[in-house]
Amino acid sequence: MLLKKFNPNQGLRVLFLVAIAFSLLTLSFALHRHFTFYSSYDQGIFNQVFWNNIHGRFFQSTLSSQLSTNVVHSGEVPAVNYHRLGQHFTPALLLWLPIYYLFPHPATLTVLQVIFVTSAGLVLYALARIYLEPAIAILITLSFYGANAILGPTLANFHDISQIPLFVFSLLLAMEKRWWWLFWLLAILILAVREDSGITLFGVGVYMVISRRYPRIGLAVCSLSFVYTIALTNLIMPLFSEDISKRFMLERFGQYAEGNEASTIDIIWGMVRNPWRLLVELFTPFVGTIKYLLGQWLPLAFVPAVAPASWAIAGFPLLKLFLGQGDSVLAISIRYAMSIAPGLFYGAILWWAGQGFNNFGKRLKDCQPRKLNSQFRRFWIACICLSLLFTITSNPNRTLYFLIPDSIQPWVYVSLPEQWQRVGQINSLLAKIPSSASVSATTYLIPHLSSRREIIRLPALELKNDRSEIVKVNFAIADLWQLQRYQVAFKQDRLWLRDITALIDRITSSGEYGIVGFNNGVILLQKDANSIPEAMTAWLTYRQEIEPKIEQK
C-alpha cells in the first residue's frame, strides 16, 4: 500500500491500522516492563505525585524530596510535604487527574503516555493533510511512530514531556486553521507542561515571525514564552524549593556559572559573557552531536536537515540540549529527545509542501509541492526500518531486556521465564507490606509501592512525617538478586549491592529490624520485629553467596 498512491479514505484506514498497531505494541511492551519490575524511580515519583494529588496534597512527594538539594547537598532527610514544583513545574498533569482518580495505579500512567503519543501521531497526520497527499502524510506519520526519539521515551517511565508532541502538533494545527482561541489555549497548556517547555513554544513564535506568516502573533508568543520561563524559574519555583538554582541549573549548565547556585538569568548572562565557551559547548562532542542530529533526522529520510521550519522551531530545544552538560543530553532514547520532534516533523511537512530556504518567506499556497517518486519512497521506508532497528538493538530503558542482553562482555542477560518466576516471588513479599505503612525500597520496586504517603529509596531509612518528626520506615525491601545479576557490568549496581548488604547486616544485628521474608534474593525487613528463623537462615546462606561480589571494588 505504501508503494502506490491511494485516496483519502484508504489513507485513513492505513492511518488507523498503523496507530492501533503502534499503541498495542508499545502498550504491551511498556506494561510488560512495568509488571516485570523494570520500571524505575521516575515512574514511582510521578505515581506518588498523582496519588498525593487525588488525596488533596498537590505535587508532594518524598521520592522527589530525596533528590532535592536539601537532601543531596545539605544532608537533610526526605520530607513528606516536599513540593515537587520546586524541581519541575508541571501543572498540566492535573488535566489527567480524573482518569487517575478512576484508575489509581502506576500502570495507568503508562497507558496515558501511550495514548498521548498515539494521539500525537493522529494529529500529525491531520496537520500533514493540510498540504500533502495521503501517501506522503502516511509516511510522515509512520516516521513519527518509528522514530527512536519517539519510541524510546514512550517505552520509558512516565514523564511530563510525553505531552509535548500532542500539544505542539495541536497548536500548529490550530495555527494552520486559524483557530486562535484554541491556539492560545494550547500555548498555555504547553507552558504548563514543565518549566522549560517555553523554549519549544518560543521556537514556534520565531517561526511565525521569520516566515512572515503571522509576525505579530509570533512576537506575542515569543514574549509570552520568554517572560513566563524567566518569571517562573526566578520568582515562582524558588517559593517551593531552592532546587532550580542550587541543583538543576548547576548540574546542566554549571559551566557557565560561578559559585554554588545560579538562576536562569545568571546562566544566560554567563553564556553572553563567555561566547567562546558557548561555541565549544555547542559543537562538542562533535561526533556525538552529529550522531544525535542524524538519529533525529533518520526516520524522515534526513529532510529536516534542509527544512527551514525545522531549524526555526526545533533549533531552540536543540540549543538547550547542545549547550548543556551531562550524559543524557545526547541520548536519543530518553525523554528530552521527544521535545525536539514536533519542530522536525512540522518542518518536513512544509518542505514537502514546497517550502525551502530559498522561498522561506513566500506564501505556502504559492509554493510548488514536491513529488514523491518511487526511488525516494523506497529510501524513506528503508530509513524508517533502520530507525526501528536502531531502537530495538539499543534496548531502550531495558524494555527488551528478555531479547537484548544488557551487556555482552561481561555477559548480562535475564530470560523471560526467569524474570516471570521472580515476579510471583517479589509480589508475595510486597503483599506483606500494608498500604499505609512507610517503606524504603530498591529502585525497581519503588513504582509498585509508590501509592503511599511515605516511601524512600534504600539505603535511606529515615524521613520526616506530617508531624515534622524524623522517623524510620516501618518496612524495607530490597531486590538484591537484581543488583547481583547486573553488578558484574554496572559499577553503580555493585556499589548499591555493597551498601545495602552492609545496611542489612547492621540493622539486623542491632535488632532494629527483623527479617520477615526472604525469597530468591529479595529480602523484606520490618522495624521492631523479630526475624523469622527460616528467613534469617535463607538470608545468611545468600549472604555467603554474594560475599565475593561485595568485596570487589
Distance of alpha carbon 201 from alpha carbon 190, whole angstroms: 7
Co-location of 132 and 186 in the same domain: yes
Residue 330 lies in a domain: yes
Interval 298-346: pLDDT, tens? 999 999 999 999 999 999 999 999 998 877 788 899 899 999 999 999 9
Q: Identify the bridge partners of residue 514 per DSSP, sorted by sequence position.
A: 526
pLDDT for res 521: 95
Q: Answer yes or no: is pLDDT of 230 > 60.
A: yes
Amino acid letter, 319: L
> CA torsion angle for 516, 517, 521, 523 (degrees, to 10)?
-40
Q: Which domain covers residue 144, as residue numbers?
A: 8-38+83-398
Q: Answer yes or no: is pLDDT of 551 > 80.
A: no
Co-location of 173 and 251 in the same domain: yes
Amino acid letter, 47: N
Can you read off the three cell numbers belonging to residue 76?
Answer: 537533610
What is the arithmetic mean of pLDDT over 349-370? 89
Domain end call among 398, 426, 450? 398
Indicate the pTM of the whole model: 0.95
In terms of Cβ atoms closer than 10 Å to its own Cβ (0-12, 13-18, 19+), residue 76 is middle
Co-location of 235 and 147 in the same domain: yes
Domain end call among 398, 426, 455? 398
Residue 45 lies in a domain: no
Amino acid letter, 374: S
What is the arithmetic mean of pLDDT over 94-107? 97
Can you read off the three cell numbers belonging to residue 519?
Answer: 525469597
Can you read off the three cell numbers belonging to residue 86?
Answer: 520546586
Distance (Å) of CA 166 to CA 117, 119, 163, 399, 429? 7, 7, 6, 23, 39
Q: Answer yes or no: is pLDDT of 13 > 80.
A: yes
Co-location of 198 and 303 in the same domain: yes
Q: Identify the bridge partners of residue 439 per DSSP, sorted by sequence position.
A: 455, 475
pLDDT for res 553: 61
Co-location of 238 and 302 in the same domain: yes
Can you read off the three cell numbers belonging to residue 51?
Answer: 496519588
Q: How confident is the prediction for the chain on average, in pLDDT?
A: 94
Co-location of 421 and 344 in the same domain: no
The 8 Å CB, 24+ separation contacts for 468-471 are: 470/77, 471/438
pLDDT for res 260: 82
Q: Break the chain down into helix, strand, coil percent, rounded to 5.
A: 65, 5, 30
Co-location of 128 and 172 in the same domain: yes
Contact criterion met (CB below 8 Å) for 195 and 237: yes
In terms of Cβ atoms closer than 10 Å to its own Cβ (0-12, 13-18, 19+), residue 466 is exposed
Distance of alpha carbon 384 from alpha carbon 390, whole angstroms: 10
Interval 115-163: pLDDT, tens? 999 999 999 999 999 999 999 999 999 999 999 999 999 999 999 999 9
CA angle 417–421–423, rounded 5-degree value: 115
Contacts of 30 (CB under 8 A, 6+ apart): 110, 113, 114, 154, 155, 399
What is the arithmetic mean of pLDDT over 447-474? 97
Co-location of 333 and 423 in the same domain: no
Compute CA 288 distance to the chain's CA centroid, rounded to the nearest angstrom.
20
Whether the CA torsion 457, 459, 464, 469 is positive or negative: it is: positive
pLDDT band at 6 (very low <50, low <70, confident <90, very high): low
pLDDT band at 548 (very low <50, low <70, confident <90, very high): confident
Distance of alpha carbon 119 from alpha carbon 548, whole angstroms: 51
Co-location of 305 and 358 in the same domain: yes
Size of the chain, expressed as the number of residues it contains? 553
Residue 462 lies in a domain: no
Co-location of 352 and 430 in the same domain: no
pLDDT for res 201: 97
- Domain tally, the chain: 2
pLDDT for res 1: 45
Co-location of 369 and 517 in the same domain: no
Residue 440 lies in a domain: no
Q: In the structure, how many helices (H) and strands (E) does the chain have?
A: 25, 7
pLDDT for res 325: 84
Residue 24 lies in a domain: yes
Residue 252 lies in a domain: yes
Residue 294 lies in a domain: yes
Contact criterion met (CB below 8 Å) for 172 and 196: no
Co-location of 92 and 220 in the same domain: yes
Contact criterion met (CB below 8 Å) for 397 and 155: yes
Q: Answer yes or no: is pLDDT of 248 > 50.
A: yes
pLDDT band at 2 (very low <50, low <70, confident <90, very high): very low
Residue 258 lies in a domain: yes
Interval 168-191: pLDDT, tens? 999 999 999 999 999 999 999 999
